[in-house]
Amino acid sequence: MTAEEFIQQYDDAPFELDEGQVVETSELSLQHGFVCANIACRLGNYLQEHQLGRVAINNSWVRTLRSPDSVRGPDVQYMSYDRIPKGKVPGGLLEEVPELVVEVRSASDTWKKMLNKSSEYLNAGVKIVLILDPDKAAATIFRGEELPQTLHNGDWITLPDLFPGFSVTLAKVFG
């Protein structure tokens, strides 16, 4: 199945496309939704104040691989105005990838799955992947060729390469 066929058939459904095969996404929970909302709101407020770009949530599609196609639906993503200019947001599957992807680990997500997804996003051109793990109150930041950085409750998330001056404690993200 191609990315375009997938979007046409499965838009607004809890599925992703993994190398041409439709796969069900992880089970979501209220805790998952709270964490997604917390980080999306904090990023969105920062971006609005600094006029840097947009935040999208809830499976806004990202093509990560071609032939066979893979389409992922990150929990939260950021795209700068350089990638999607101000004004009306285009419909359908965008050809641009976000600069930041945030995935919130669900109880059914294995770390192997999360690591594979992180690599897939980075290989597609995403600059930073942030994995939030509510069960461990921890975050792991992945950047291209760098070693992952793990943060624990009490630590601050800062992403100065994308958002100078942005910071939020993990306690506020998970609280």
**132-164 pLDDT, tens digit each:** 999 999 999 999 989 999 999 889 999 999 999
Q: CA of 45: how far to CAs of 15, 38, 63, 106, 166, in Å?
A: 29, 11, 26, 25, 10
User: What is the average per-residue pLDDT within 52-70?
Assistant: 90
pLDDT over 90 (residue 25): no
**84-124 pLDDT, tens digit each:** 999 998 887 888 999 999 999 998 899 999 999 999 999 99
Q: How many CA atoms lie within 13 A of 150 on its CB side?
A: 5
pLDDT over 80 (residue 31): yes
Q: What is the model's pLDDT at position 98?
A: 97
Dihedral (C-alpha) 107, 8, 84, 123: value to the nearest 10 degrees? 50
For the chain, domain boundaries = 27-60+73-174
User: What is the average per-residue pLDDT within 3-27?
Assistant: 85
pLDDT more than 90, % of the chain? 71
Does CATH number 3.40.718.10 belong to domain 27-60+73-174?
A: no
Say how far apart CA 37 and CA 132 lie, in whole Å.
12
**One-letter amino acid identity for 59?**
N
pLDDT over 80 (residue 28): no
Give me the chain's average pLDDT, please: 92
Say how far apart CA 121 and CA 65 lie, in whole Å.
9
Q: What is the model's pLDDT at position 154?
A: 87
pLDDT over 80 (residue 27): no
